[in-house]
Structure 1
Amino acid sequence: MLASSSMGMSPISLLAAWQDWLLHLSLAPGKQAELALKGLEKIQRFRGFLAASAAAADGRAACITPLPQDRRFAHPGWQSLPFSAFSQSFLLWQQWWHNATTGIAGVSGKHERLVEFYSRQVLDMVSPSNFPATNPEVIERTMQEGGANFVAGFQNLLADLTDHLDGPPDGASDAFRPGHEVAVTPGEVVFRNELIELIQYRPATGTVKAEPILIVPAWIMKYYILDLSPENSLIRHLVGQGHTVFCISWRNPGREQRDVSFDDYRRLGPMAALDAVQAITGSATIHGVGYCLGGTLLSVAAAAMARDGDDRLASLSLFAAQVDFDEPGEIGLFIDESQLALLEDVMWSEGYLDQRRMAGAFRMLRSQDLVWSRLVSRYLLGDRPELNDLMAWNADSTRMPYRMHADYLRQFFLNNDLAQGRFRVGGRAIHLEDIRVPTFAVATETDHVAPWRSVFKLVHLLNTDIDFVLTNGGHNAGIVSEPGHPGRVYRLLSHRDGQPHPDPDGWTASAPKQPGSWWPAWTDWLDRHSSGEVAPPPMGRADAGYAPLCAAPGHYVLQP
């Protein structure tokens, strides 16, 4: 009941953070005096701004500018009085609250980040951009359309409420159906167990690289993020470059999978898939590719294989994948003992965690873009953004089994067992340092799920050659970055084993930006780590127990 009313977040955890902050602030007269002085300084700055704006012909004087990612006040109307006064006073007030919630002696780092984060959420609610009377863009649209924008906004509101009352959709939008508009790269399901379907894609070239590719996507998402529309499908791109590609499609678990463990995901996922790929292609080695949580799982599998002398991996490619969770970013704000106790109770009751229970937390990470700007756009301006394939995929959510997700959150996010050498597979500890295969890692600059500095720790943790790419974009859009995508740039680090380890901020300050998609750089890297070309393997192999079962995208991806 508590989880239902709090969007799956623990109010006990939040209360403890606010209490820690308030009690220590009350015992810090020096900090109180500093805040009073800063408040007076901001009042003086605002008075100077008003005077300068009244005297300036164009009214463009400013005493504070928004952060680069803050686009709420980009409309030209915000440059003129009285709207410039609204935005400037709000930004000054926002800056003061940042000072008030940080730098207080005695407050734990976790609680400080929580209080600062939630104070931003409250301030975002009262931003002048959210109200029609104080938003010049809304006023301008209302005058142009005679109020028709509010009629359209009310219709949008009714449609959204109807969708909510009718319950969640069974899958993606009718405009982007897996197997029809998206996930259309030709292939066959060649293996199925209680947890995965393995898809083998048809070759598009006369010869293929000798080593096949196995893709392990995250189980928290449908696999076709990597096979969206034909023009931005990473899988289609790989097939077109002469690679034999296999991809795991995870089952959408229900109550009956409540006791499936993290190790079951390793054993029935990448390990079972490696057996199938090797049996079908006859290749001694395979390129392993992991995305997000799939990359974490693949790293666990690779470390266990290295420990056990299993040398079937030719290389590792890890996209937006963390193995060290000491600095997981703002998503880590929602992971502590109190939060896990709440989630574990919910999952024990239901048998799984529906991703929608954490949707509120994920939206809060980018509330300006995912909550308030959408409210203004849909309900005040009356706009209804056109759905694209990435948005449709994002709505096609999945569930996480009780035992597996509890194991994952506690052992990785809370205890950081993998990076600390405490994670056990088969009763014995595994160590990331044992991984010796060449590795290609990709991180994205504005990733709120796997922050790029956290992903960069792969360079320090793996004792092997690592090529690291930092590309612009977010957790999903930065990975779905096809050649020709406008505005894409990336940095590339080639770190050889034995070289001094670079500092992430020092590296980004000196590394040149390269225009375009990182996909060609990755496929060139794969080519350098391939042993030549061979004839395409058969689609499945019946004599080895891997006969084609059905056409891609298979059945599991269509499960509601």
Structure 2
Amino acid sequence: MTTEDNAATAKLEKMTANLAKIEALSARLMAALAQKKLSDPGVQGPGQEIYMKAAAAYLAGMMQNPGKVLEQQIAYWGKTMKHYVEAQAALASGEIRVPADPGPKDRRFSNPLWDTHPAFNYLKQQYLFNAEAVQNAVADLESIDPGDKKRIEYFTKQIVDMLSPTNFLGTNPDALEKALATDGESLVRGLENLVSDIEANNGEVAVTLADREAFVLGENIATTPGSVVFRNRMLELIQYAPTTKKVFQTPLLIFPPWINKFYVMDLKPQNSLIKWIVDQGFTLFVVSWVNPDASYADVGMDDYIREGYLTAMAEVRRITDQAQINAVGYCIAGTTLSLALSHLYRAGDTSVKSATFFTMLTDFSDPGEVGVFLDNDFLDGIERQSNADGMLSKTFMSRTFSYLRSNDLIYAPAIKSYMMGEAPPAFDLLYWNGDGTNLPCKMAIEYLRGLCQDNGLAEGTYKVFGHKVSLEDIQIPVCAVACETDHIAHWRGSFNGFKQMGSADKTFIVSQSGHVAGIINPPSKGKYGHYTKEGDVAGAPDDWMAEATFNQGSWWPSWGEWLAKQSGKQISARIPGDSGSPVLCAAPGTYVLNAQKTPTD
């Protein structure tokens, strides 16, 4: 037998073995899919009404201006026929060449075969023609509410993106090339990845974005030294160990969002906002929220304010023996900090000296991209599902936010994992992104209905402990940091809410980049700059930006200077436990590990 025969035999044996693995994995796949629980249709997609509105608007356009619709169709048909004729001519010439490709570059089609192979090029160009035609038709819809049109545009784009030829094995040259090069091994690994993800998510398809085994909290992520110095059913309070001999007298307390875990601010020492704050000489406390289960179903926003905000503030004052603290609220925690500050003002409580808000919305009259999920079709479904489960599952929230960037957070990772058979990367930020939390049923509905949908805080109708609160009640010095390309809390919306606060001392900063990267932007990287402007925070956000000054580098030092002015004199550094308050355990604590035992201390 020749060397070639031996190689062919080995190849055949490898492919046969891979086929056997695929058969076994297919059985596992069916068993994993069977674990999926039925969920309310309202959390799976928009209601039928939006499709009816789109169809009615399109038909109305046809009746009112048939020439315009016909023009669109003829332009689409013309491009399609011209492309077909050019492709046929190229094939008939006997040359392996493709027709001219004048369209803009799309990183989904980066494989050279999309530009050089006639079949793949035809698929790509025709898909882009189809996508353009559909999106143009939606953009030209008239006689429709602007809010409905925005939702139709968004969900149309989701469908168009889903149908990209890159998302299907038979039309993805990268996946096909790798399958041939590995004798099918990549497809086996991809199926293993798919089955593992479905098994890990109880029948749901949710692609793993980062290696789950690459990080251990407290060992190679969330490692800034500190101690848990207080615990109740809602939170663990972490006091971080000082790194300077002297510290500012007024302590700083950060409330992170309870939609995610706090350690996004402490991924590694090089980009840790927590470590940077400590290194600047601030006594830092950070709340680590509990990850609620169904037993927290009746916990509402008032409970978060009472047992979370007010309790943590009181503990920090007690531990440091200070009458006042500075506070930070991040995302939804910033919105809730606004509620708490309004309540404190009306109660005559001056225990908060200044407040900072990261990527926060308080005025939801224009909620940005997230607004497509705030109509009754989704919220009714979320309410029914949350009442049934006792909580709003992290699965639904994670999926919603991922679809705001579906090509980056769903399709591209799925292609690499399931079609290419690649292992997820050891990426700390993506690891954190996949380590989500649930929301208590009552709190989730109060937030979505009362604050997001009804815009209760900006309208002055939302109640805390039975009394209405208002942005005008926030009279202390305040600073807000928004992010220029934030798709969750857009900077214009953040500006519009922030300017309504009653404080005479308002500082607004816009960081380059998005919801996370814009905040976690250490000075050492010199990556993203920020915008600042002296004077009042008033008028239209775009007018503010037109007059703002661009500053190279991170916003952290600018904020640090502002915070130092609110923090009093320098005193000897405080050590966790030196006040007589017991140290319960080392940071990052137990709640971040999903421990949900009701504490006895």
TM-score of the alignment, normalized to the shorter chain, above 0.5 = yes
509, 524, 527: which one aligns with 1:484: 524
Q: Distance in 2 between matches of 1:312 and 1:133?
A: 63
User: Secondary structure of 1:326's match?
Assistant: coil
Q: Distance in 2 between matches of 1:41 and 1:342?
A: 40
- The residue type equivalent to 1:469 in the other structure is I
Q: Provide the residue aligned with 1:465 in structure 2.
A: 505
Distance 1:317 1:158, change over 3 A: same
Q: Distance in 2 between matches of 1:481 and 1:302?
A: 27
Compute the displacement of 1:7 (Å): 7.0
- For the 8 Å contact 1:25–1:32, the answer to whether it is kept is no
Distance 1:316 1:17, change over 3 A: same
Compute the displacement of 1:412 (Å): 0.8
- For the 8 Å contact 2:238–2:286, the answer to whether it is kept is yes
Q: Provide the residue aligned with 1:202 in structure 2.
A: 241
- The residue type equivalent to 1:286 in the other structure is I
Q: Distance in 1 between matches of 2:426 and 2:281?
A: 32
Distance 1:81 1:38, change over 3 A: farther
- The residue type equivalent to 2:55 in the other structure is L
User: Secondary structure of 2:108's match?
Assistant: coil
- For the 8 Å contact 1:218–1:292, the answer to whether it is kept is yes
Deviations 1:74-115 (A, max 9, x none): 444434353444333322322221222234333223322222
- The residue type equivalent to 1:184 in the other structure is T
1:211 paired to 2:247: no
Q: Provide the residue aligned with 1:518 in structure 2.
A: 555
The count of corresponding residues between Structure 1 and Structure 2 is: 550
Compute the displacement of 1:325 (Å): 1.2
Structure 1 stretch 126-135 or stretch 224-233: which is displaced more? 126-135
User: Secondary structure of 2:305's match?
Assistant: helix
- The residue type equivalent to 1:73 in the other structure is F
Compute the displacement of 1:294 (Å): 0.8
Compute the displacement of 1:116 (Å): 1.9
306, 315, 318: which one aligns with 1:276: 315
381, 386, 400: which one aligns with 1:361: 400
- The equivalences for 1:218-367 within 5 A come to 218-367=257-406
Distance 1:296 1:482, change over 3 A: same
Distance 1:296 1:31, change over 3 A: farther
- The residue type equivalent to 1:415 in the other structure is D
Q: Distance in 1 between matches of 2:235 and 2:447?
A: 19
Q: Distance in 2 between matches of 1:48 and 1:508?
A: 45
- The residue type equivalent to 1:116 in the other structure is E
Q: Provide the residue aligned with 1:78 in structure 2.
A: 114
- The residue type equivalent to 2:361 in the other structure is Q
- For the 8 Å contact 2:252–2:282, the answer to whether it is kept is yes
Stretches of structure 2 that go unaligned for 5 or more consecutive residues are 1-34, 91-95, 596-601
Compute the displacement of 1:263 (Å): 0.9
- The residue type equivalent to 1:40 in the other structure is I
Compute the displacement of 1:277 (Å): 1.1
1:15 paired to 2:52: no
- The residue type equivalent to 1:264 in the other structure is D
Distance 1:509 1:385, change over 3 A: farther
- The equivalences for 1:29-68 within 5 A come to 29-45=63-79, 61-65=100-104
- The residue type equivalent to 1:157 in the other structure is L
- For the 8 Å contact 1:9–1:334, the answer to whether it is kept is no
Structure 1 stretch 197-206 or stretch 426-435: which is displaced more? 426-435
- For the 8 Å contact 2:362–2:498, the answer to whether it is kept is no
1:375 paired to 2:408: no
Q: Provide the residue aligned with 2:137 in structure 1.
A: 100
Distance 1:80 1:516, change over 3 A: farther
Compute the displacement of 1:430 (Å): 1.6
Question: TM-score, structure 1 length as denominator?
Answer: 0.88
1:555 paired to 2:590: yes
Q: Distance in 2 between matches of 1:402 and 1:386?
A: 34
- The equivalences for 1:510-549 within 5 A come to 511=548, 513-540=550-577, 546-549=581-584
User: Secondary structure of 1:484's match?
Assistant: helix
1:505 paired to 2:542: yes
Q: Provide the residue aligned with 1:407 in structure 2.
A: 446
- The residue type equivalent to 2:513 in the other structure is G
- The residue type equivalent to 2:322 in the other structure is S
Question: TM-score, structure 2 length as denominator?
Answer: 0.83
Bigger radius of gyration among the two: 2
Structure 1 stretch 372-381 or stretch 239-248: which is displaced more? 372-381
Distance 1:538 1:129, change over 3 A: closer
- For the 8 Å contact 1:49–1:62, the answer to whether it is kept is no
- The residue type equivalent to 1:468 in the other structure is F
Sequence identity, in percent? 35
Compute the displacement of 1:203 (Å): 0.7
- For the 8 Å contact 1:218–1:291, the answer to whether it is kept is yes
Q: Provide the residue aligned with 1:123 in structure 2.
A: 160
Distance 1:42 1:31, change over 3 A: same
Deviations 1:294-328 (A, max 9, x none): 11111111122223332222222111111111222
- For the 8 Å contact 1:60–1:79, the answer to whether it is kept is no
Deviations 1:390-430 (A, max 9, x none): 22222222111111111111101110000111112233222
Q: Distance in 2 between matches of 1:160 and 1:526?
A: 44
Q: Distance in 1 between matches of 2:81 and 2:532?
A: 48
Q: Distance in 2 between matches of 1:232 and 1:446?
A: 20
User: Secondary structure of 2:43's match?
Assistant: coil
Q: Distance in 2 between matches of 1:139 and 1:10?
A: 31
- For the 8 Å contact 2:135–2:153, the answer to whether it is kept is yes
Compute the displacement of 1:484 (Å): 3.0
- The residue type equivalent to 1:96 in the other structure is A
Compute the displacement of 1:455 (Å): 1.5
Q: Distance in 2 between matches of 1:175 and 1:510?
A: 45
Compute the displacement of 1:163 (Å): 3.2
